[in-house]
Amino acid sequence: MKLIKILGWIFVPYIMVFVDWKRLGKIGKRVGAAWAILALIIGIAGRDTNNKPNPSNTTESANVTSAVVNSPKTEAVSSSQTVTTDQQGVSASATDVNTTQNAQRIQAKVLEVVDGDTIKVKINDKEETVRFLLVDTPETKHPKYGVQPFGKEASDFTKQLLTEKTVELEQDVNNGPDKYGRLLYYIYVDGKSVQEQLLEKGLARVAYVYVPNVKYVEQYRKIQEQAQKAGVGIWSIENYAQEDGYHSDVVKKNEPEPSKNTVATQTSPKPQPNPQPQPTPQPVQEVYYANCSEAKAAGAAPLYRGEPGYREKLDRDKDGVACEK
């Protein structure tokens, strides 16, 4: 409507003036021109008035501005609430991770400890043989190697730790079975890793590392390095535990051979005969050999110090035996 009024005030007088300009007299022309100019001024003034802010609108704008100024606090509160929610979400996720890890562990009753790294357990009312993942202890029942050094110590330790206990079995990516039909698990008793305890005491080495079951391999290797530096258990014998297994032959080579004195000490003493009375020594006849040829011709060579015919001159190397050659 305002636009129509402006157009009317501005353009209608001009149209009337130019249409009737020739018919108007001098006064009429002046009045028409004045009217057109006045209409133009009023139109421009009205347009400026419309552009001026309305007090009510200004108040509303101020309210809006104050609302906008105050709105960050509200947004900040909302943001803090969002952060809190996110933190709870992270906590919940961590809880979910722990729950998942615990869910991967199953409880089993130990029926028998076979050796240091193998046990028999009862899972879902079924007997299963379980091999400890990522570790290897010396043998005690191997048909070829027999009882290896520290094999009995490892077996006794595992028996003491797990006999008639309820353990937790943690699976890696898969749990086997291996080529012997044994299941593969990480073993825990009283919340502690059995593999880690064997490695700490030098009763096992990190071995049989096959992808994808490598979850704790780096952790186990760090524990093994500490046992190696301390020289405990299998690491107390140089070159015994190696990458390809245990070398009992190294142990045998390093064992000191028993000395003759040791053997004589360990042998039971023989009974000694009763001492016999010694005959009264007879005076020794003086014998003289000019040289070794004479001694040999007489069948007396070699001549020992203290015997008849021995002279230092005949004993060239001064070893107490003359004419030995």
Interatomic CA distance for residues 13 and 36, integer angstroms: 5
Q: Is the pLDDT of residue 35 over 50?
A: yes
Our answer to whether residue 139 is catalytic in this structure is yes
Higher pLDDT, 37 or 83: 37
Tell me: the pLDDT tens digits for 73-124?
Answer: 333 333 333 333 333 333 333 333 343 455 589 999 999 999 999 999 999 9
Our answer to whether residue 205 is catalytic in this structure is no
Q: Catalytic: which of 128, 131, 170, 205?
A: 131
Our answer to whether residue 182 is catalytic in this structure is yes
Pairing mode, strands 126-132 and 135-136 = unpaired
Q: Alpha-carbon dihedral of residues 252, 258, 259, 263, nearest 10 degrees?
A: -160
Higher pLDDT, 270 or 220: 220
Tell me: the pLDDT tens digits for 299-321?
Answer: 777 777 777 777 777 777 777 77
Q: Catalytic: which of 128, 153, 168, 182?
A: 182
Q: Catalytic: which of 139, 153, 168, 196?
A: 139
Q: Where are the alpha helices (DSSP H) in the chain?
A: 2-19, 26-51, 55-104, 151-162, 194-200, 217-230, 248-254, 260-266, 292-297
Interatomic CA distance for residues 249 and 321, integer angstroms: 47
Tell me: the pLDDT tens digits for 199-245?
Answer: 999 999 999 999 999 999 999 999 999 999 999 999 999 999 999 99
